[in-house]
Structure 1
Amino acid sequence: MGETVGPGEWREVTQADIDAFAELSGDDQWIHVDVERAKTESPFGTTIAHGNLTLSLTDGIRLDLMKSTGFKLGVNYGWNKVRFPAPVPAGSSIRGSAEVVEVEDVGGGWWQVVTRFTVEVEGNEKPACVADSVGRVLPE
């Protein structure tokens, strides 16, 4: 606990990724999917990834950075303090780091683990996402 792992490898977020997420989520706002309009009307000069797309990529970051052993299973219990300080422009690369910030016995053999994920965009000082994932694990 208290030790940061990562950052992991860079991963490009493509317009195809953004379009697929828009289709799946139903969020097809122009800032995400209309490349030509975003070039002229967006303050970012391009389309940007949905905040929830960026948040969802923390699942892959978790699998890449955190190897869990000694558990029968783990489940997602929710999120705390989710913030998106900076956008993820289409075509940019992101990577993440993780830090376990809290572990608590919640009874019935279950433990609650809060992990803080920070997702950065290559070349940007501000992170794209900072969020505390709340998971529950059942030891073997």
Structure 2
Amino acid sequence: MLIINSFNEYKEYLGKELGTSNWHAISQEQINKFATATQDAQWIHTDAERCKTESPFGSPIAHGYLTLSLIPYLWKQIADIRNVKMEVNYGIESFKFGQPVIAGEEVQLHAKLEAISDLRGITKVVIQAKLTTKTGKKPVYTGNVVFLYHFN
């Protein structure tokens, strides 16, 4: 795991791969809980029997926003940003979905530092996020996440 303690340490990684997370299986239970939480229980996510006959995937798929919501959890497996008073999820940019995640598939986050700036003492970083599966030919998605760090 990468450990970063300051703006200057973070800046050393500009343009570099930061690492990959552990594999995480997206279960049907997790998909169902997300459907309940977001009130998005479309059958393509929650109805395994109907998916067998009507879905081009043959099985339920995870919500795209569920896969995006895993970024903070998976990011914490890649980097431990220390000496921080506060961390803020600031934005997401230019995300494109390349393939769905079938219920039960495992996903892994790959991160690269695209940009870093000092905004009057607040560190703004742009991390390229790419989510992959063990079986997929294309990434589940690629895009940039923006974090703000208030270092001590």
TM range (shorter): over 0.9
Q: Does 1:135 align with 2:147?
A: yes
In the alignment, what sits opposite 2:93?
A: 80
Q: Percent identity?
A: 35
Rounded Cα–Cα distance in structure 2 between residues aligned with 1:10 and 1:118? 13
Q: Does 1:100 align with 2:100?
A: no
Q: Does 1:90 align with 2:103?
A: yes
Could you list the per-position Cα deviations for residues 75-112 of structure 1 after superposition, in whole angstroms to 9, with x for gaps in the alignment? 011110112111000011111111111111222x2121
Rounded Cα–Cα distance in structure 1 between residues aligned with 2:54 and 2:18? 38
The unaligned stretches of length 5 or more in structure 1 are none
State the 1:55 CA deviation. 0.4
In the alignment, what sits opposite 2:134?
A: 122
- What does 1:1-140 correspond to in 2, within 5 Å? 1-107=14-120, 109-140=121-152
TM-score by length of 1: 0.94
State the 1:131 CA deviation. 2.2
Could you list the per-position Cα deviations for residues 3-52 of structure 1 after superposition, in whole angstroms to 9, with x for gaps in the alignment? 21332221111100100000001111111011111111111111100000
Number of equivalent positions: 139
Secondary structure of 2:75's partner? Answer: helix
Asked if the contact 1:75–1:135 (Cα under 8 Å) also holds between the matched residues in 2, the reply is yes
Asked if the contact 1:99–1:117 (Cα under 8 Å) also holds between the matched residues in 2, the reply is yes
Rounded Cα–Cα distance in structure 1 between residues aligned with 2:107 and 2:138? 12
Q: List 4+ stretches of structure 1 deviating above 6 A.
A: none
Secondary structure of 1:74's partner? Answer: strand
Asked if the contact 1:85–1:128 (Cα under 8 Å) also holds between the matched residues in 2, the reply is yes
TM-score by length of 2: 0.87
Rounded Cα–Cα distance in structure 1 between residues aligned with 2:57 and 2:117? 41
What letter is aligned with 1:96?
L
